């Protein structure tokens, strides 16, 4: 099982840059870039909440479950 981060898609839909989201959320560009590219292995609920607030979205808009067995 895998969890895929779709932050890049939501950011593109909202037309928001990495720098702008970083400022709104209060995390570094480097950490946000890791989330955007799917290279992060974990995300804090407080960070997820701040991202959802800044992007006016739900966690399900950013996170997607993919069954590796198929």
* Each residue's pLDDT expressed in tens, for the chain with a length of 70 residues: 588 899 999 999 999 999 999 999 999 999 999 999 888 889 999 999 999 999 999 999 999 999 887 6
Query: What confidence score (pLDDT) does residue 70 get?
Result: 61
At CB < 8 A and 24+ separation, what contacts does 28-34 make?
none
Superfamily holding 2-66: lambda repressor-like DNA-binding domains (1.10.260.40)
Q: What is the pLDDT of residue 34?
A: 92
Residue 26 main-chain phi, psi, to 5 deg: 85, 30
Q: What is the pLDDT of residue 55?
A: 97
């Amino acid at each position: 099982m895998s969890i895929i981060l779709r932050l890049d898609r939501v950011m593109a839909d909202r037309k928001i840059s990495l720098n702008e989201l970083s400022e709104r959320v209060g995390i570094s560009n480097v950490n946000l870039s890791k989330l955007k590219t799917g290279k992060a292995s974990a995300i804090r609920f407080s960070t997820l909440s701040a991202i959802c607030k800044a992007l006016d979205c739900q966690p399900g808009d950013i996170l997607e479950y993919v069954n590796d067995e198929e």
